[in-house]
Amino acid sequence: MATAIAHPNIALVKYWGKRDRELNLPSTSSISLTLDKFQTRTRVDLGVEMDLLVINGRTVTGGEAFRVFEHLDLILPGRRPAQVVSESNFPAAAGLASSSSAFSALTVAAMAEGGHELTPEELSVLARRGSGSACRSIWGGWVEWRRGSEPDGNDSHGVHLAPPEHWDVRMVVAVVHGGRKKVGSTEGMLRTMATSPMYAAWVASYERDLSQARQGVLDKDLGALGAAMERSTLKMHATMMTSDPPIRYWRGASVALMDAIEGLRSKGVGAWWTMDAGPNMKVLCEAHDAGRVAHTLGTFVQQVEILAPGGPPRLV
């Protein structure tokens, strides 16, 4: 058996929409930061009688299990039955990027258990098939997922921009609501693509956000990166909210937090927010400002976590 630990990543420039659903190819490139502390630990054992999935101590069947075993069929064609035991130390399906750590840990463990030694780029291509955002969790720190142009998708994978120690930032996570989201990301993006009149504008306008964010990361320019991140986030949510029927992940507290972060900025604290497919707020700031940011967020929500840049997946 093989066990891998992987960390989730938070997109700074967002992935929202697929140009090829079968191969899970994105419409746009994206940039992310892999986090420490939050993690998924997954064990894959190919020496068993039948497929079995256990997540956080509970046997899982149905759609979630189907997705996991279908991924194993794809990356290990002709595989033997597998027991997959996975544990995450943070809420799943709440817009905290749980599928990114889940599918990167699963891919890394499964390929090791299958006896394959792959480059990070090859692992990234395989992880992408399970969940797009997982292809960025194959590296620690700062990662760009280039959308690629090859029809087979083999050039659509993560590219490492900088390691975790490149820049001492923090992602302060305010848990507005830890429950499962009503509309999952895959369903949300397909609906957006099919129905939002804003979707074409999202695809047409991402490159500026991408290049500004990439340069912001390389130059350690938080103002440039933060502005690109908020812009990308707002545009993504604009496409969701203008879908039919609409998808709105924001709650009242999410908006109150946006105001609070703007308030911090007006007092000279470099803090910038992002949200994914859920109401939870993630705030990017320099390490020395994290305590103040966390204190402010903590006046609105009960659970606040301070996360630093994290490392790549590892076999244990």
Interface with ligand DP6 (CB under 6 A):
11, 14-16, 24, 30, 97, 99, 131-133, 185-186, 276-277
Residue placing its CB nearer to ligand DP6 in the complex, 170 or 191:
191
User: Are residues 216 and 228 in contact, defined by beta-carbon separation less than 8 angstroms?
Assistant: yes
Owner of token pair 């079968």: 22
Residue placing its CB nearer to ligand DP6 in the complex, 94 or 264:
94
Residue 58's CB is within 10 A of a number of other CB atoms, namely 7
Residue 79 CB, shortest distance to ligand DP6, in Å, is 21
Residue placing its CB nearer to ligand DP6 in the complex, 91 or 132:
132
Residue placing its CB nearer to ligand DP6 in the complex, 16 or 139:
16
The closest of 315, 312, 316 to 101, measured between CA atoms, is: 312
Residue 236 CB, shortest distance to ligand DP6, in Å, is 7
Rounded alpha-carbon distances, angstroms, from residue 177 to 10, 81, 85, 250, 280: 17, 37, 26, 10, 6
Alpha-carbon distance 56 to 215, whole Å? 39
Q: Which amino acid is at 63?
A: G
Residue 168 CB, shortest distance to ligand DP6, in Å, is 23
Residue 178 CB, shortest distance to ligand DP6, in Å, is 16
Residue 24 CB, shortest distance to ligand DP6, in Å, is 5
Question: Token pair of 134, please?
Answer: 């997982």
Residue placing its CB nearer to ligand DP6 in the complex, 188 or 289:
188
Residue placing its CB nearer to ligand DP6 in the complex, 99 or 243:
99
Residue 48 CB, shortest distance to ligand DP6, in Å, is 26
User: Are residues 14 and 233 in contact, defined by beta-carbon separation less than 8 angstroms?
Assistant: yes
Alpha-carbon distance 310 to 225, whole Å? 18
